[in-house]
Amino acid sequence: MSAIATVAVVALALLHVYILILEMFLWTGPRARAAFGTTEEFAAATKAMAANQGLYNGFLAAGLLWGAFASDPVGFQVRVFFLACVAVAGLYGAATASRKILFVQTVPALAVFALVLLAR
């Protein structure tokens, strides 16, 4: 895999680590509430649900990092699988929660997916 594709996969993984932090640890704080457009009351009421979502983002990040550093052909297969997971999760989130998720999650995943395929 090319260095550019590796950096892109790692960057996407780090984005999901950041989302994990927002959802699991900072959900009721001002930064997360601004990022997700929630009120103090809503954040307090949905703290456990957000932590669960954060954990899933951590799994996506772990898979992306695994794929970035694993030897091919396994590394390539893992990258493709987890990039597809990120893209599908983003599509579902955009359809059910906020269209903003399409641009924060799906578009970057598809761009990185293209880089990974071009580097093949």
| Structural domain spans, the chain | 3-118
Contacts 24+ apart (CB under 8 A), 30-36: 36/98
Structure tokens at 1: 């895999």
Map tokens 């950041």 to a residue.
Answer: 18
- Mapped onto helix, strand or coil, the DSSP state of residue 97 is coil
pTM, whole model, 2 decimals? 0.93
Q: What is the pLDDT along the chain (120 residues), one digit of tens a residue?
A: 799 999 999 999 999 999 999 999 999 999 999 999 999 999 999 999 999 999 999 999 999 999 999 999 999 999 999 999 999 999 999 999 999 999 999 999 999 999 999 998
How does 34-55 read in b/e, with b if 16+ C-beta sit within 10 Å?
ebbebeeeebeebeeebeebbe
